[in-house]
Structure 1
Amino acid sequence: MPEVPDYWRIADDVIADVRSKNLKPGDKLPSIAELREKYGVSHGTIQMSYARLEALRVIRRQQGKGIFITDPKTWMREP
């Protein structure tokens, strides 16, 4: 079975935190540097995670302010 890429795993961790309500709408995500240190991955890997989350509408970027969690009602399906 193929291993899940790091960027996918990191994005899944963020989604899991939203589902468990550890992250709420409007919460600011940690900086790229903080996530790089936490996961031991490259800048590009974190950028790819953020790109995946943005494509799924889990996050929104605000130029000069940061990256924030969106309202899960707009993207999360009930299990």
Structure 2
Amino acid sequence: MREVPDYWRIADDVIADVRSEKLKPGAKLPSIADLRETYGVSHGTVQMAYARLEALRVIRRQQGKGVFVNDPALWMREP
């Protein structure tokens, strides 16, 4: 069994937090530095996690303001 890459795990954790409503639409996500420290990974790893989440439309970035959770209706499908 292959190990899940760190960036994938971080992105999955954010998705799980949105699904469980721990993170609400419009909530600001932690900074890259904060997530780096929390997960013990590199800056690039967190950037890749955010890029994955952005591609999935889970988050949106606002230059100079931060990273925010999108409305789940834009991306979440019923299981």
Report the 3-state secondary structure (helix = DSSP H, G, I; strand = E; otherwise coil) of the residue aligned with 2:60: strand
Q: Which runs of 5+ in 2 are unaligned?
A: none
Report the 3-state secondary structure (helix = DSSP H, G, I; strand = E; otherwise coil) of the residue aligned with 1:48: helix
Aligned length: 79
Question: Cα RMSD between the aligned structures?
Answer: 0.3
Q: Superposition pairs for residues 1-79 of structure 1, below 5 Å?
A: 1-79=1-79
Matches of 1:66 and 1:33 in 2, distance apart?
12
TM-score, scaled to structure 1: 0.99
Matches of 1:48 and 1:69 in 2, distance apart?
16
Matches of 2:36 and 2:63 in 1, distance apart?
20
Among the aligned pairs, what percent are the same residue? 84
TM-score, scaled to structure 2: 0.99
Report the 3-state secondary structure (helix = DSSP H, G, I; strand = E; otherwise coil) of the residue aligned with 2:28: coil
The one-letter code of the counterpart of 2:34 is: E
Runs of 4+ in 1 over 3 A off after TM superposition: none
Cα deviation for residue 11 of structure 1 reads 0.1
Report the 3-state secondary structure (helix = DSSP H, G, I; strand = E; otherwise coil) of the residue aligned with 2:68: strand
Q: Which runs of 5+ in 1 are unaligned?
A: none
